[in-house]
């Protein structure tokens, strides 16, 4: 792990060394960004590009693809769409599975706290202050343990982070929340 972190730091520092004073026009800035993206996708993560090419070719031959969560996607898609769907689809289905499971637990335990919605990769809840610790611990167990047991194709650890704001306070006042040990 330490070697990977060192390699990533060296790779990132090669881009940070760029002299921003050289970016005197939009075209120079655009050229710089294109170079960074090229190095990022074709040198640092070249296997991802190989996967995208192979995935899109298979999609073109069959006209559909199956996601890891069991859904079949078909229809006319660009390469970007066909390569994005299986990743975004699986991520959303993981969130949806967790949302449904947490809702089930909240009903069984008769929480005063309520699931409100989801935004991007976040579950939004209206949490009763007296239930905050329990709700967070429950979500952590569902998303970091039960989800992995449900779908064995997830091979990376999940890590849940919490942000909270006070009762009747705006989201702009959210603060990171740490579960008590």
Q: What is the pLDDT of residues 150-167, one digit of tens each?
A: 999 999 999 999 999 999
Beta bridge partners of 119: 122
pLDDT band at 58 (very low <50, low <70, confident <90, very high): very high
The secondary element (H helix, E strand) that includes residue 123 is strand 122-126
Residue ranges and CATH numbers for the domains of the chain are 44-177 (3.30.70.370)
Q: What is the pLDDT of residues 78-133, one digit of tens each?
A: 999 999 999 999 999 999 999 999 999 999 999 999 999 998 889 999 999 999 99
Q: What is the pLDDT of residues 18-29, one digit of tens each?
A: 566 677 788 888
| Cα angle 156-160-164, degrees, rounded to a multiple of 5 | 165
pLDDT band at 57 (very low <50, low <70, confident <90, very high): very high
| Cα angle 173-179-180, degrees, rounded to a multiple of 5 | 125
23-29 contact pairs (CB < 8 A, 24+): none
């Amino acid at each position: 792990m330490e070697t990977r972190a060192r390699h990533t730091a060296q790779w990132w520092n090669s881009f940070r060394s760029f002299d921003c004073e050289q970016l005197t026009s939009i075209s120079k800035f655009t050229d710089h960004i294109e170079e960074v993206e090229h190095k990022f996708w074709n040198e640092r993560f070249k296997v991802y590009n190989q996967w995208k090419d192979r995935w899109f070719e298979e999609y073109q031959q069959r006209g559909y693809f199956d996601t890891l969560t069991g859904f079949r996607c078909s229809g006319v898609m660009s390469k970007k769409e066909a390569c994005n769907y299986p990743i975004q689809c699986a991520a959303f289905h993981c969130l949806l599975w967790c949302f449904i499971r947490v809702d089930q637990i909240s009903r069984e335990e008769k929480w005063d706290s309520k699931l409100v919605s989801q935004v991007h990769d976040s579950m939004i809840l209206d949490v009763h202050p007296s239930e905050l610790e329990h709700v967070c611990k429950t979500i952590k167990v569902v998303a970091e343990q039960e989800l992995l047991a449900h779908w064995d194709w997830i091979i990376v650890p999940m890590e849940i982070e919490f942000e909270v704001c006070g009762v009747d306070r705006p989201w702009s006042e959210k603060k990171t929340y740490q579960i008590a040990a």
